[in-house]
């Protein structure tokens, strides 16, 4: 207990230096927390997608290639496919807000068979199916925008040259926040035909629900074989792989984040070690007195390491707290890029971040601690601070 009091007294002795060291560790670990939170978000998204046995069909050339709407019925006819729907990205603006939320054209009669984990009131689903200009929205998106069933939602086309005048018919509850609305693919397609615009009869992508996980490889092979010799060959993949594809577009971001993390830990260790070395130099005579009255070398070393670790842990707690707050703020501001809140991302990786802070403390304190432990009483008492 006396040792802890001594450590705390030394931590609080030079408040300015301690505060600056804590802040340097804290802000750097806040950056690491945000970067690793983004990595965890990708894995959470992938794990969630893996649960529901869905596959995504797209043109082999990617989003730039067409996928005819007739292919949807062909996919539905594949063995072990429960149902399939077109899923075409619209990308319009709402109240002059570009990409305020995600907007997709799909099939109201089949959508909730493919996304059977999404829940919607049967009456609201029926109202959507019967209203050609109807749409349904994620309940959390509707709450954020202040929408209520019956409201009009006008969207101005940017990527596709047709404006939509939608009416909100219902709200669905998804396991994770989708930040999206769904509307009738037929409504969009008819408008594009009237405008003689690009994108007519194009389903964009096709989502299909498979009977079981074990059948997914066979279904993927069957779909791609079905369209291999057509004018629009396909590339089919699991929903989790489709999600990972967007991360892969950014390159090997996980390797970058790991390397950045190692560089940050190394730099922080040097900063903290410099602060500890200065602290030990100022207390040379004090350490010599402790050894003179009977403190063994091991005890002196533990006190120095304890001081360094305590400072680093304070910085770690500050950094993790700031990073978590920033992740939650990013989720609130831009749910398309950060679809998961802190409650979904929390996990053992946060303890790893705290362990990194403790590691910084150990590394920064080891050299000053050893030098203090090996300091002779005579040399220490000779020095005048």
Judge whether 67 and 205 are in contact, CB under 8 Å. Answer: yes
Judge whether 159 and 198 are in contact, CB under 8 Å. Answer: no
Judge whether 196 and 141 are in contact, CB under 8 Å. Answer: no
Within 10 Å of residue 143's Cβ, how many Cβ atoms?
A: 12
Residues of the chain with pLDDT under 50: 385
Judge whether 327 and 33 are in contact, CB under 8 Å. Answer: yes
Please tell me the predicted confidence (pLDDT) of residue 327: 83
Judge whether 368 and 276 are in contact, CB under 8 Å. Answer: yes
Please tell me the predicted confidence (pLDDT) of residue 298: 75
Structural domain boundaries in the chain? 2-46+251-382, 61-232
Output the six-digit token pair for 246.
């967007």
- Model confidence pLDDT, tens digit, residues 18-75: 788 888 888 888 888 888 887 777 666 656 656 788 999 999 988 778 899 999 999 9
Question: Tokens 């003689």 sit at which residue?
Answer: 196
Within 10 Å of residue 314's Cβ, how many Cβ atoms?
A: 20
- Model confidence pLDDT, tens digit, residues 121-171: 999 999 999 999 999 999 988 998 999 999 999 999 888 888 999 999 999
DSSP letter at 214 equals G
Q: Give buried/exposed letters for 204-236 (b at 16+ CB in 10 A, else e).
A: bbbbbbbeeeeebeebbebbbebbeeeeeebbb
Question: Tokens 């005819």 sit at which residue?
Answer: 68
Judge whether 106 and 88 are in contact, CB under 8 Å. Answer: yes
Please tell me the predicted confidence (pLDDT) of residue 71: 94
Question: Phi/psi at 79 (nearest 5 deg)?
Answer: -60, 140
Question: Phi/psi at 40 (nearest 5 deg)?
Answer: -65, -35
Q: At a CB cut-off of 8 Å and minimum separation 6, what does 194 contact?
A: 162
Chain-centroid distance, C-alpha 127: 35
Please tell me the predicted confidence (pLDDT) of residue 385: 46
Distance between CA atoms of residues 258 and 256, nearest Å = 5
């Amino acid at each position: 207990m006396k040792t802890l009091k001594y450590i705390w007294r030394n931590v609080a002795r030079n408040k300015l230096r301690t505060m600056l060291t804590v802040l340097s560790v804290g802000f750097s670990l806040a950056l690491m927390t945000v970067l690793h939170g983004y990595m965890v978000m990708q894995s959470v998204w992938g794990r969630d997608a893996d649960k529901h046995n869905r596959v995504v069909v797209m043109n082999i050339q990617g989003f730039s290639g067409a996928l005819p709407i007739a292919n949807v019925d062909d996919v539905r006819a594949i063995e072990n496919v429960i149902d399939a729907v077109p899923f075409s990205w619209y990308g319009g603006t709402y109240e002059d807000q570009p990409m305020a939320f995600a907007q997709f054209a799909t099939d109201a009669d089949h959508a909730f068979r493919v996304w059977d984990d999404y829940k919607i009131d049967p009456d609201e689903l029926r109202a959507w199916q019967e209203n050609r200009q109807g749409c349904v929205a994620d309940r959390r998106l509707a709450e954020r925008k202040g929408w209520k069933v019956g409201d009009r939602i006008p969207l101005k086309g940017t990527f596709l040259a047709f404006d939509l005048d939608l009416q909100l018919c219902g709200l669905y509850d998804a396991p994770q926040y989708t930040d999206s609305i769904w509307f009738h693919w037929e409504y969009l397609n008819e408008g594009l035909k009237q405008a003689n615009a690009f994108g007519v009869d194009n389903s964009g992508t096709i989502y299909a629900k498979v009977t079981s996980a074990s059948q997914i490889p066979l279904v993927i092979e069957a779909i791609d074989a079905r369209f291999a010799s057509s004018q629009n060959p396909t590339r089919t993949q699991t929903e989790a792989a489709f999600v990972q594809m967007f991360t892969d577009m950014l390159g090997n971001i996980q390797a970058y984040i790991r390397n950045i993390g190692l560089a940050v830990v190394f730099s922080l260790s040097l900063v903290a070690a410099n602060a500890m070395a200065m602290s030990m130099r100022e207390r040379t005579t004090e350490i010599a007195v402790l050894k003179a009255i009977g403190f063994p070398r091991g005890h002196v070393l533990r006190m120095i390491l304890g001081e360094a670790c305590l400072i680093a842990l304070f910085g770690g707690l500050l950094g993790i707290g700031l990073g978590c707050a920033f992740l939650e703020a990013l989720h609130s501001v831009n749910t398309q890029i950060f679809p998961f809140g802190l409650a979904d991302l929390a996990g053992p990786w946060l303890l790893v971040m705290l362990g990194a802070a403790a590691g910084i403390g150990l590394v920064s304190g080891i050299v000053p601690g050893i030098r203090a432990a090996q300091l002779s009483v005579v040399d220490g008492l000779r020095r005048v601070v």
